[in-house]
Every structure is written in C-alpha cells, then in structure tokens.
Amino acid sequence: MGTKVFRYKLDFFYQQALIYLGTLVLYAGIRGSFVEDQFNFVFKDPIVYIIIVFFLVALSTLFLNIWRGRRLIIEPDRIVFHSRAGERVIRIADIEWMHIGRERLVQTAGRFQQVTLKLKGRPLPIRIRVGRYERDRELVAAMEEIAMGVPGRKSRRKGIRSRIGMSSFFRQET
C-alpha cells in the first residue's frame, strides 16, 4: 500500500454559501421594485441584513476551511492528520485496537460512518468520520487494510446472563 491522501470535503460549505446567496437574490428580486427601467433595492428591511449576515458567515466559514487545507494521509506505517496549523502523526504500531463501523446517533445511507482508533497511552479513542473525506469508499478500504494487522475492539458489554450470574440476588443456594 502506498501513500494515499484524502482531502476534507467542502461540499456542504459551498452549498450553504450558495443557498444563502440564492435566498438573498430571490428576496431582493421580490422586495425590490422597478421604477423607470431601474431596479431599486430596499436596504431598510431588517430581513435583508439577516440574510446578508448569514451569507457572510457561510462565506467566511468556507474560506476558513479552504485555508485550513485539512487532509488525511495514510501511509504504510502511519496515519497523518494534516492541516495548515500542523500535523498529527499516529503510528500503526501505537494503535491498541481499531473498529470500523457506524456511529450510534447518526443515521446516514452509508454502510460505514466512522473509524475508531484507540491508541496506547491515550484514554479516549480517536474517531475518524469517513463521510467527511473525499473518496470515502477508498478510505474505508485503506482503513480495512490497516485493520488487518491491528486487533479489533474489545467487548465493552457483557451479556445480561453474565450479569445475572454475577448478581447475588439470582444466585441459587445449594
């Protein structure tokens, strides 16, 4: 496996900015008036200001995410989270366990939604949301290839039968 680079998706930010721009243009067309072949736009309407603020926030969020340049780089011996601010490197040897599966509270059409990495010496796992990166199927395939050499998640729950067996209430006296 060679080096694979997955860029952070910006689709949502583009769509958000375009929707607010479209709303502004549509509202301006409805509220504006044509007088003597000139279009007069009313700036006294507070809704116009609200739509402009939403559009500017969406546009600044889009530019901020473009500027960040976030990428997920998968190499044979490590996983790199790259951004303009710096890099975070996770060596494959430092992964205690790895789980590829669904996020419990998120319902999407995709089969895999997140990859959970538990690192040695770190109490909380790292979650990689696959749908936030371009070429998500290829990302899952690369993660599955890494998962072949890494142990799976340890079972967090025991069944109800083992809990009943441990409870003193359900023990039978002999």
Tell me, yes or no, if the pTM score tops 0.85: no
How far apart are the C-alpha atoms of 69 and 25, rounded to whole Å? 30
How far apart are the C-alpha atoms of 55 and 49, rounded to whole Å? 10
Q: Which three-class secondary structure state does DSSP give residue 62?
A: helix
Tens digit of pLDDT per residue, the chain (174 long)?
Answer: 678 899 998 888 999 999 999 998 888 777 766 555 556 666 677 888 899 999 999 999 999 999 998 999 998 888 899 998 888 898 888 888 888 877 666 655 555 578 888 888 888 888 888 888 888 888 888 888 888 877 766 655 555 455 455 555 445 555
Cβ distance 72 to 128 under 8 Å?
yes
Question: Tokens 């998968």 sit at which residue?
Answer: 74
How far apart are the C-alpha atoms of 12 and 16, rounded to whole Å? 6
Domain positions in the chain are: 4-68
